[in-house]
Amino acid sequence: MVASFMAQFGGALVANRWPILPIQPGTKKPGRYRCGAWSDYPDWSRHASRATTEHELALWREWPDAGVGIVCGTVVAVDIDLEVPELASAIEELARERLGDTPLRRIGRAPKRLLVYRAREPFRGIRRAPLEILGEGQQFVAHAIHPDTGRPYDWPDGPPADRDLSDLPVVHRAAIEAFLDEALAMLPDDVKPARLSVRRSDGGGGASTSREGTREAIAAALAYVPNADLAYDDWIRVGLALKGALGDDGAALFAAWSVQSGKDQPEFTTKTWAGLRPERIGAGTIYRLALDAGWKPEPALVLDGAAPRCVTHPAAAMLAKVQAAPRSDAKAEPRFELTMPDGLVGQLTEYMVSTARRPQPLLSLGASLCAVGALMGRRYRTESNLRSNLYVVAIADSGSGKNHSREIINELFLEAGLVEYLGGNKIASGAGLLSALYRQPALLLQLDEFGMFLSAAADRRRSPRHITEILDNMTELYTAAGGVYFGAEYANRDGKNERRDINQPCLCVYGTTTPVHFWSALKEANVVDGSLARFLIMETEEDYPEEIVDRGIRSAPLGLLDQMRRVATGGASTAGNLAGLGSGLSTGVEPVTVPMANAAKDVFRSLGADVTRQLREARGTTRTAVLARIAENAAKLALIVAVGRNPEQPQIDATDAEWGVQLTEHCAKRTMLAVDRHVADNDNERYRKRVLEIIRSAGGQGLSKSELVRKTQFLSRRDRDDVLGDLAETGCVAIRMVQSATRPAAVFVATEP
C-alpha cells in the first residue's frame, strides 16, 4: 500500500520539472510535518522560484498522508468554480478554444473543474468570481483527499506526473484577460458578482452609521465586500467610504482590496486614492455592504472609531503575555551566562577584552579558541580522533569593535615568533587555500567581511568556480583533519599542477562580519547541506558597548607569549615533532591522544542522548544539520581548553566538557533561531522575514505604519502592503489601535518575541 500521495507521485512530478510542495492531510493548505504533527507552511511560496531538491523530496515522502500541491507561477491554472454542469462545460470549452487544448484537467467536487497551462511570463492571479486564474503566490492541490467529497482528486485525462511541464499550452496575461471578459459575458446574472448597492439603514442591524471606523472592523468587513469585476462607480464608492472611515491609514486596505480585480492597475489605484475627498460617506457604508453580504461582526469588535473606548487591542493582554514570557508549548530557557575557561584560552580572551576600546567578550573568546586550535594543530587529538580545527564566525554591527581580536592575534603571533601559523587576510581561490595548507598544514585564517566572502562563495550561479571552490574545500577540509586530504588531479602535471595531498590538515577560520551581510548571503541549501553547521556562529548581544577611550598602546604579557609557544611546540612530551610545519605528507605527524575523565564522558553521553531526541523531533527541518554538529563542536572546544591549560599533560575533565557543551548549545540555539528569522531562498521570503524582524525589534510597543514605512524603504509600496498582508494572515503580526494626538492609529506588533 502506498504511504502517501507524495510517495506515489512526488518523484515523477519532480522528474518532469513540476514545482511541488506538501499538502496537509484533509485540507487544501501547504503543510509541514514537525514534531509528530502537521502545521501550516508559511514560507511555501519559495518553491515557485527553484526546483525541488532530492533532500526535500526524500523528507516529504516520509511524511504521513502527505498530499501534493503544485506551485503556480510558471504553472497557471484556470479554476472554474461553477456548480451548474452545463455552464462549467461551456466555460471549459471556451478556455480550450481561446487558451489551448490542455491535456490536464482536474476534478475535485464535480462539476467544478480546473485546467492547467504554462505561463509565457509569470503573473499574479486574477479573480473574477466564479472564475479564478491561479498565478504567482498561489498553489492548487494535485493529489490528496478532497475535504468535501472524501475522495481523491481526479485527473480524467491522466495526472500531471505523466506529463512534462513543457507539454502544456503556453498562455500570456492578455489572452487570459480576454478569455475572462468573454467567459463572464456568457454567465447569467444570478451567478455574476452583482453591482454594489447600499440600502438605507432602518436603525437596526447593528452597523455603525458613524463616518469614522476602526481599522480592525473595517478590515474584517471589507473581506466580505466583493471586488471581482465591479463597475468604476462602485469601486470609487468603496474608496471614498474607506478614506472617510480611516483617512490615509486606509490606503493599504484599499490597495489590497483593489488588487483582487483583474482590472486593477496599482499606479492608477494609488493616484485615485490620493484624489479622493469624502464628505459624508464613511464606515457605515462599508459595514452595510458587508452585512448585506453575510458579515457577522464579532461581539468584541469595536465599530465606531469616534466612540469613547479603551484604545488597546482586545487581545492586548494576550499579546503582552506572549511578548513577556516564553511560548506555552516551549520550556523556558535559562539565560546564557558567558564564563571564561582557565589556561591559555582564558588568558588570551582576557587580554583582548582588557585592551579593547569596545570590549566584546564573546567575539574575543571565538578568536582565542581559533588561535589556540591552530597552534596545537596536528599535535593533539581526542580518543575519538577529533582535532582542534575550528570554524568560527563572529557577528556584530559595523563600528562595534569586532576587529580588535584579529589585531591582537596578529600582534601576539608576531611577537611570539609564530607568524608562520597565520594565513593571509584574504583567500583568492580554492587552489590558493590548498597551496597555503600544503606549505603550512596547521593554519589560522582571519577573514574580515566574511559575509561578503560567503555571499560570493555560495553563489554557484554567478560566481566563478575558483571562488566557489573555496567554500567546497573548507567543507571537505573540516572532515579531513584526522586523515589525509587528497588533492585534485590535473590533466597537465607540469610541476605547477601536481596533486598535493595534505596529511591531517588543521585549518582554523575566524571570520568577522555584520549580521545583514552574513544572513543575507545564506540560502536554505547552505543549512541543509551542513556547510553552515560546521561554523560556530557567535553573535554579540551588545553591538555597541561603552567605549573606553583611554585604551590604545599595549604590550603583551611575557607569560602569555610563553604559554603560546608551549602549546605550539607541544610541551616537553612532543619536543622535536614538526607537526605544525612542513609540506604535505613529508611531515611526520604523531599526535598526542588527550584522555577524557569518566565524569567528562558522562557529560557527553548525556549530550548525545539529548541531541538524538532533538534530531528526532526536528526531522524534516533545516535544524537537523546544526543539531548534528553540537557534540562534535563541544568536544573540540573541550580539547582546546584542556590543552591550553596544560600542554604537557592535558586531560579533558568534566568542567571542560560542561563548558564546551554550554557554549556550543548556546551558539546552536542562536543559529537555528537566526536561520528561521533570516535565511531565505528568494526575495519574497527574504523581504517577509526582514520586515517581521524590524517589527519584532520594536518590542511590545510595536511600530506605527509611518515608522514602518521609514524603516522599509527598500520595498515598494505594493510589496510592503503584500508583505504586511501575508504576515497578518499567517498570524505573525497583529494590528492594534493606540491613541495618537488626533485619532486612534494602527500599530503593528509581532506576536512572537
The closest alpha carbon to 79, from 31, 121, 128, 44, belongs to 128
pLDDT for residue 383: 94
pTM of the model: 0.56
The closest alpha carbon to 664, from 607, 736, 591, belongs to 607
CATH number of 683-750: 1.10.10.10
Q: Contact, 440 vs 505, CB < 8 A?
A: no
Round to whole Å and give the CA distance between 116 and 423: 57
| Host H or E run for residue 613 | helix 598-617
Which fold does the domain 5-187 belong to in CATH?
Prim-pol fold (3.30.2250)
The closest alpha carbon to 22, from 6, 43, 39, belongs to 6
Average pLDDT per block of 10 residues along the chain, 753 residues long: 81 93 92 84 80 86 93 95 92 95 95 95 84 91 93 94 93 92 85 49 39 84 78 83 89 86 80 84 84 72 63 40 38 65 94 92 95 95 94 90 92 94 89 90 92 80 85 90 80 61 93 82 64 85 85 85 93 47 55 95 94 87 86 95 95 95 91 78 76 85 84 83 78 73 71 72
Other CB atoms within a 10 A radius of the CB of residue 120 amount to 14
Residue 85: strand, helix, or coil: helix
Round to whole Å and give the CA distance between 248 and 254: 10
Residue ranges of domains in the chain: 5-187, 215-309, 344-489+502-593, 683-750
CA-based torsion, 311, 313, 318, 322: positive or negative: negative
The bridge status of strand 139-143 relative to strand 126-128 is unpaired
> Using DSSP, how many helices (H) and how many strands (E) does the chain show?
26, 22
> How large is the C-alpha radius of gyration of the chain?
31
According to DSSP, the residues that pair with 744 across neighbouring strands are: 739
Round to whole Å and give the CA distance between 127 and 193: 11
Other CB atoms within a 10 A radius of the CB of residue 241 amount to 29
The closest alpha carbon to 397, from 259, 252, 545, belongs to 545
Other CB atoms within a 10 A radius of the CB of residue 286 amount to 33
Round to whole Å and give the CA distance between 371 and 381: 16
Round to whole Å and give the CA distance between 642 and 563: 13
According to DSSP, the residues that pair with 23 across neighbouring strands are: 30, 67
The residue type of 592 is V
Please report which residue ranges of 497-596 form alpha helices under DSSP H.
515-521, 524-528, 558-569
Please report which residue ranges of 305-445 form alpha helices under DSSP H.
316-324, 343-355, 361-375, 404-415, 430-439
The closest alpha carbon to 751, from 459, 338, 328, belongs to 328
Grid cell locating 159 = 495526472
Round to whole Å and give the CA distance between 368 and 510: 9
Round to whole Å and give the CA distance between 621 and 35: 10
According to DSSP, the residues that pair with 447 across neighbouring strands are: 511
First-last CA distance in the chain: 44
Distances (CA, A) of 272 to 144, 284, 458: 44, 21, 45
Asked, colleague to colleague, whether 5-187 and 683-750 share their fold, the answer is: no
User: Angle, to 10 degrees, between the axis of helix 683-697 and the axis of helix 717-729?
Assistant: 70
Q: Contact, 564 vs 556, CB < 8 A?
A: no
According to DSSP, the residues that pair with 739 across neighbouring strands are: 744
pLDDT for residue 196: 46
**Ramachandran assignment for 620, one of left (phi > 0), alpha (psi -120 to 50 degrees), beta (any other):** left
pLDDT for residue 530: 64
pLDDT for residue 587: 52
